[in-house]
Amino acid sequence: MSSPSKIELRRRYRSARAGLPPQVRYQAERQALRHALSAGLFLRGRRWGVYLPFGSEFDVLPLANHALWMRKQVFVPVLPLRPAKPLRFVQLKKRQKLNRNRHGIVEPLSPQRIGARQLEVLLIPLVAFDHRGVRLGMGGGYYDATLAYLKTRRNFRRPRLIGIAYACQQAAALPAEAWDVRLDSVLTEAGLTQFS
């Protein structure tokens, strides 16, 4: 029996994520915030990268709001003009103009952008993850291109990569490509799991 393709895996785990009732999602997101607090996650770094949730993605806004309350600088990704190019990040500010990109995802309008290397913590959306820290994304390759420089880093890694998901998105094992950058940890309603 052959292993499922990435397309099949994306379909399976997106369906599992989308099938969670709103109240279950809400409780899971609040529980993940409690786990982040008890693990001391908000004591790390000053510059945080987060994403603005789209569709059934895990809502990181409670985490982003707490980071802002802790006086962190919070940045969100802005899509490049061409696919497979690195994401750039724009700082979230009050009364900021927002726009929908070509995928319908909200992003801020600002010419002032930074690269991922300037972030200390990066919360990353995902479709599925496994026990080794392998992440299955949407398939656009944006985070792979953005974080490719980390493949050459052995001692100093920045930013710290934290996948954000519901526990139902954990797979037994995912196919890993040579260009994949593994997560440092993943945060779900079940807790914060560190990968070696």
Annotated domain spans of the chain? 6-190
Burial of 119 (0-12, 13-18, 19+ CB in 10 A): buried
Render pLDDT for 87-117 as a digit per residue (tens, 0 to 9).
999 999 888 888 888 888 888 888 899 999 9
Q: Residue 26, Cα to own-chain centre: how many angstroms?
A: 18
**8-state DSSP, 4:** P
10 Å CB burial of residue 114 (0-12, 13-18, 19+) is middle
To the nearest whole percent, how much of the chain has pLDDT over 70?
96
The overall pTM is greater than 0.85: yes
Alpha-carbon gap, residue 109 to 35, rounded angstroms: 32
Please tell me the predicted confidence (pLDDT) of residue 123.
97
The SS3 of residue 50 is: coil
Mean pLDDT of 146-170: 87
The rounded mean pLDDT for the chain is 91
Give the residue from 88, 49, 85 showing the smallest Cα distance to 67.
Answer: 49
> What is the average per-residue pLDDT within 145-171?
88
Strands (E) in the chain, as ranges, are 47-49, 73-78, 88-91, 98-100, 106-108, 121-125, 128-129, 135-136, 160-164, 185-188, 191-194
**Mean local confidence (pLDDT), 131-143:** 90
The string of pLDDT tens digits covering residues 170-185 is 999 999 888 788 999 9
Q: Coil, strand or helix: which one is 73?
A: strand
- DSSP, res 180: P
Kindly compute the dihedral angle of the four CA atoms of residues 116, 119, 120, 122, in this order, to the nearest 10 degrees: -60
Amino acid 82: pLDDT: 74
pLDDT at 1 over 60: no
6-190, what's its fold?
Answer: Rossmann fold (3.40.50)
Is pLDDT at 64 greater than 60 in this prediction? yes
CA distance readout (Å), 170 to 14, 135, 152, 156, 194 = 11, 10, 27, 28, 14
User: pLDDT tier at 27 (50, 70, 90 boundaries)?
Assistant: very high
Least confident of 8-12, 114-118, 129-133, 156-160: 156-160
